[in-house]
Amino acid sequence: MWPHQCQISKSNLSSSIYGKFPSVSHLSPKSIPRCGFGWALVFTPSVASVARYFKKRRTFATGLAFTGVGLSSFAFSPLFQFLVDTYAWRGALLVVAGMSFNLLVCGALIRPLTLKEDLAGPGDPSGSCLGKLSTLFGLPLLSHWPFMRFVLAVTLINTGYFIPYVHLVARARELGFDEYQAAFLMSVAAVADLSGRLLSGWLADCRAFHLGHILVAWTSLTGISLALVPLGRSYPLLMAIGVCYGFFSGALTPVVFSILPEIVGIGRIFGSMGLLQMMESIGGLLGAPFSGWLRDMTGNYTASFLAAGAFLLAGSLVLVTLPNFFSCLRSSSPACTQLEAGTDLGLEEGESMASGPGFPEDGLG
């Protein structure tokens, strides 16, 4: 059992260090692209590997792997400040770099798996080099319309998702709360985020609802909680809204990555995960500047949070266009794994490990 337990530990460590990465004010302009590229190389294969290791409990395993983000958001800010005070910013970055190097050890312990889908769809050995390169990077998925609609939905979600991380503290300060009260809002939201990831993973793996329905529900609730932030003028009410946002936003994260194999098939998870994260980052890149522009134009954060909520609600509307969304009542229904492009693009009934002794045929977990 230790290989897949180690995979969760690796992904947890990856998300922990990613979540507690120091402020960009401590990085030079030349180092920022290198850091971003390095973290992309860590995060994408980590999450994709969890999806390949697990089938029955995939969403819970993904949520467990992402708990590092909530833990680090709560604990690392004072730790990094302590490191800066003790070793200066250069020494603090060296300590963080040393922590990151532990990922090399965790990654070395992960055994690659060959799944049934990997053997079912081999590439054409006589194809051109350009065709092989295109297949390697998953470019044929750009014409897979269910996948592209999912990418659009997640991009819209990302546009509004990170606004509270940028402006919730500033909103609290604008209402007259002191800096410690404002910072505590994000700490409590981080704890709620951790709880939401675990509960969402458990609920999804109960198979009482289709993953698409669960994702739309969490996304809509996150959008509504963001739209309600302007109404939080007292500290208890703003705290309650922050807790709701943290819980709902944490709950949707593991479902986003767990539903991807049902759309493209587990055999394409690495290519689809890379394309998804490349394109969804456009939303994350534009969301905060757009929110800041709205703040400058209106003089307050009301329009910023309303726009953030609108982006998530728009993303939930795009999600309902996924194949079989209205016909699937249970995620275990055979229709839920048959997509527009054919059953070979979805999880097959009885998908199993094609090699690797010691693993059950219905997948880990």
Q: How far apart are CA 74 and CA 20, in angstroms?
A: 9
* pLDDT at residue 28, rounded to an integer: 56
Residue 156 has pLDDT above 80, yes or no: yes
Q: pLDDT confidence of 353, banded at 50, 70, 90?
A: very low
Q: What is the CATH number of domain 2-116+135-345?
A: 1.20.1250.20
Residue 27 has pLDDT above 80, yes or no: no
pLDDT in tens, 90-139: 888 888 888 888 888 877 877 777 777 766 555 555 567 777 777 777 78
Q: Where are the domains of the chain?
A: 2-116+135-345
54, 1 in Cβ contact below 8 A? no
pLDDT in tens, 291-309: 999 999 998 899 999 999 9
- The 3-state secondary structure of the chain reads CHHHHHHHHHHHHHHHHHHCCCCHHHCCCCHHHHHHHHHHHHHHHHHHHHHHHECCCHHHHHHHHCHHHHHHHHHHHHHHHHHHHHHHHHHHHHHHHHHHCHHHHHHHCCCCCCEHHHHHCCCCCCCCHHHHHHHHCCHHHHHCHHHHHHHHHHHHHHHHHCHHHHHHHHHHHHCCCCHHHHHHHHHHHHHHHHHHHHHHHHHHHCCCCCHHHHHHHHHHHHHHHHHCHHHCCCHHHHHHHHHHHHHHHHHHHHHHHHHHHHHHCHHHHHHHHHHHHHHHHHHHHHHHHHHHHHHHHHCCCHHHHHHHHHHHHHHHHHHCCCCCCCCCCCCCCHHHHCECCEHHHCCCCCCCECCCCCCCCCCEC
Instruction: Report the predicted TM-score, pTM, of the whole model to 2 decimal places.
Output: 0.76
Percent of the chain with pLDDT over 90: 24
